[in-house]
Amino acid sequence: MNTDDKDLLTTDFCGLRFDSPIVLLSGCVGFGEEYTRIKGFSNRDVGAVCLKGTTQDARLGNAPHRVCETPMGMINAIGLQNPGVEVVVSEILPSLDFSETRFIANVSGSTIEEYVEVARRFEDSAIDAIEINISCPNVKEGGVAFGNDPDMSARVVAAVRAVTRKPLITKLSPNQTDIADNARRCIEAGTDAFAVINTLMGMAIDIDSRTPIIGNNQGGLSGPAIKPVALLKVHQVYQICREHGIPIIGQGGINSAEDALEFLIAGASAIGIGTALFYDPLICPKINAGIAAYLREHDLANVAQLTGSLILN
């Protein structure tokens, strides 16, 4: 990152200093080590890295195919493949450089009790914050049921809140009737922040075999195709969050600095990059430069001044 841009891009998120408003999204960078091998990539170009979804026990994930490219997007159904929380805490976290960026754990589970146990284990670790994945659309139990039911969402948040003092980020599903009401219930239950949105549910079909391409039959649609939906959801959730000072990581199809700026204006305090990394691993410094240039052009001192600055018709 250009040192001249640092003051412009530094962001406070739940009391954590992010050197950039960019967060690398869970599932897109493994446990933080995958992208460090790419020449030219620097963790200093991002504010935080959200680690791969972690469950209590190891999971092998779904049967293949797990990923399918679609027009302007991608469907994935990985199925939360991970080595389990004990391996993540005892073997993976010690290998990460916490001086370079912030690291956020992504907690997943099939039961409320599992969410609690995984969060409890991360509470005693070096992790900077915990994201609760209550809205994963590519597992057959838990996940999507919790995320689409405001009562269940609030119960998960309250249960995890009781076992951790770390900043708690709730990842909201777009596949529900009233995302703003769900956000309100989660705030009452104790969440500190939101990630908006998780993927939309989608399907792709092989017309020759007449079978779903994804082994799980359905999966999460991400990429530019979902950006207009994600923007609206961020705007809707921001109407609830601004009353309580709750920040949002806006995500869903961000592919450029212009996209990132739209999410900030709609109400996001930080922006999540995921699918774009698969075809441009070095997109983060480009987005940082574009945001900084916009701030200078409009005489804004910091990216925080953009958050929620949307002027409605």
- Of the candidates 86, 78, 87, 65, the residue with the CA atom closest to the CA atom of residue 25: 78
Q: Residue 286, SS3? A: helix
- What type of residue sits at position 225? A
In one letter, which amino acid is 172? L
Active-site hit among 50, 136, 186, 284: 136
Identify whether the C-beta of residue 289 lies closer than 8 Å to the C-beta of residue 22.
no
Q: What's the start-to-end Cα distance of the chain, in Å? A: 36
Handedness of CA 79, 43, 248, 70 (dihedral sign): negative
Token pair for 107: 């907690």
Q: How far apart are CA 93 and CA 169, in angstroms?
A: 19
Tell the residue number behind the tokens 């994935």, with chain if given. 76
The β-bridge partners of 250 are 196, 271
Determine whether 186 is an active site residue: no
Q: Return the structure tokens found at 289.
A: 């430069």
| Residues carrying an active site annotation | 136
